[in-house]
């Protein structure tokens, strides 16, 4: 099971050498998320329309290793943007991946950019 996690590594904007064209803005719900597939990776992408900001992270929840985070509810905790896993409501910061209500390992996060209504997710390869 651990090997599932190994393919997801937090990528900062400086590390990016591939901007993957994922989908159009309208493919994602406003103030919600959806999942994209890139080379065997499942990545959850969230549209915080209220703040005009986008976030991306691994789709797998490190608690029970299910591919579900993109179906989680988003919001904030003291201003930190977060996603709550639909399974057991484990919450993670979308800024640094930290588990906000427990001791789980942090999730990997990825940069997102929008150009001409296209959503790009950044990877380092």
Partner 1 sequence: MKKVVVIGNGMVGYKFCEKFAASEKFGEYKLTVFGEEPRRAYDRVHLSEFYAGKTAEDLSMSSVSWYEENNIDLHTSEMITEINREDKTVANHRGDTYSYDYLVLATGSSAFVPPIPGVEKEGVFVYRTIEDLEAIESYAKKLKAEGKTQAAVLGGGLLGLEAANAVKELGLDAHVVEFAPRLMPRQLDQGGSDMLQAKIESLGLSVHLSKQTDFIQGGHAIEGLQYVDNTELKVDMLVISAGIRPRDEVAKECGLEAGLRGGIIVDHKMKTSDDYIYAIGEVALYNNMIYGLVAPGYDMAEIAMSQITGNSDNTMVEHIDMSTQLKLIGTEVASFGDALSDGDDTDAIVYENKRNGIYKRINVSKDGTKLLGGILIGDSSDYNALFQIYNTAMKLPENPEDLILGNRGGDSGSLLGDVMDLPDDAQICSCESISKGTICGVIQEGTCDNLGDVITCTKAGTGCGGCKPMVKDLVDATLKSLGKEVKDTICEHFEYNRQELFDIVKLKGYRKFDEVIDHHGKGDGCETCKPLIASIMASIYADTANEEAPIQDSNDRFLANIQRNGTYSVVPRIPGGEITPEKLIVLGQVGKKYDLYTKITGGQRVDFFGARLDQLPKIWKDLIDHGFESGHAYGKSLRTVKSCVGSTWCRYGMDESVSFAIELEERYKGLRSPHKLKGGVSGCIRECAEARCKDFGVIAVEGGWNLYVCGNGGANPKHAELLAEQIDNETVIKYLDRFLMFYIRTAAPLQRTAKWLDTLEGGIEYLKEVVINDKLGLAEGLEEEMSKLVNTFQCEWTQAIQDKEIMKRFNHFVNTDEPDDNLVFVPLRNQKMPEHWK
Indicate which single residue of 8, 11, 16, 48 sits in contact with partner 1 (rule: CB under 8 A): 48
Indicate which single residue of 8, 28, 55, 110 sits in contact with partner 1 (rule: CB under 8 A): 28
Between residue 5 and residue 24, which ones bind partner 1 under the rule CB under 8 A? Answer: 22-23
Contact between 44 and partner 1 per CB under 8 A: no
Between residue 83 and residue 122, which ones bind partner 1 under the rule CB under 8 A? Answer: 84, 86-87, 89, 91, 101
Contacts of the segment 32-36: beta carbons below 8 A, 24+ positions apart? 32/73, 32/74, 33/69, 33/70, 33/71, 33/72, 33/74, 33/83, 34/70, 35/59, 35/67, 35/70, 35/71, 36/121
Q: Which CB sits closer to partner 1, 12 or 53?
A: 53
Indicate which single residue of 76, 95, 96, 105 sits in contact with partner 1 (rule: CB under 8 A): 76
- CA dihedral of 11, 16, 19, 25, whole degrees rounded to 10: 50
Contact between 32 and partner 1 per CB under 8 A: yes
Six token digits for residue 20: 């993957």
Q: How many residues bind partner 1 (CB under 8 A)?
A: 43
**Which one, of 117, 122, 114, 124, lies nearest residue 54 by Cα?**
114
CB distance 95 to 12 below 8 Å? no
* Binding stretches for partner 1 (CB under 8 A): 1-2, 4, 22-23, 27-32, 34-37, 42, 45, 48, 50-51, 60, 64-68, 71-79, 81-82, 84, 86-87, 89, 91, 101
């Amino acid at each position: 099971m651990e090997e599932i996690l190994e393919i997801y590594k937090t990528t900062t904007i400086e590390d990016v050498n591939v901007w993957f064209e994922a989908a159009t803005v309208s493919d994602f719900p406003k103030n919600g998320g959806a999942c994209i597939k890139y080379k065997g990776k499942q990545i959850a992408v969230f549209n915080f329309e209220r703040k005009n900001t986008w976030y991306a992270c691994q789709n797998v929840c490190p608690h029970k290793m299910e591919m579900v985070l993109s179906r989680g509810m988003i919001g904030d905790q003291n201003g930190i943007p977060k996603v709550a896993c639909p399974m057991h409501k484990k919450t993670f910061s979308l800024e640094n991946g930290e588990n906000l209500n427990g001791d789980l390992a942090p999730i990997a996060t990825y940069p997102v950019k929008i150009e001409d209504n296209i959503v790009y997710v950044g990877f380092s390869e």
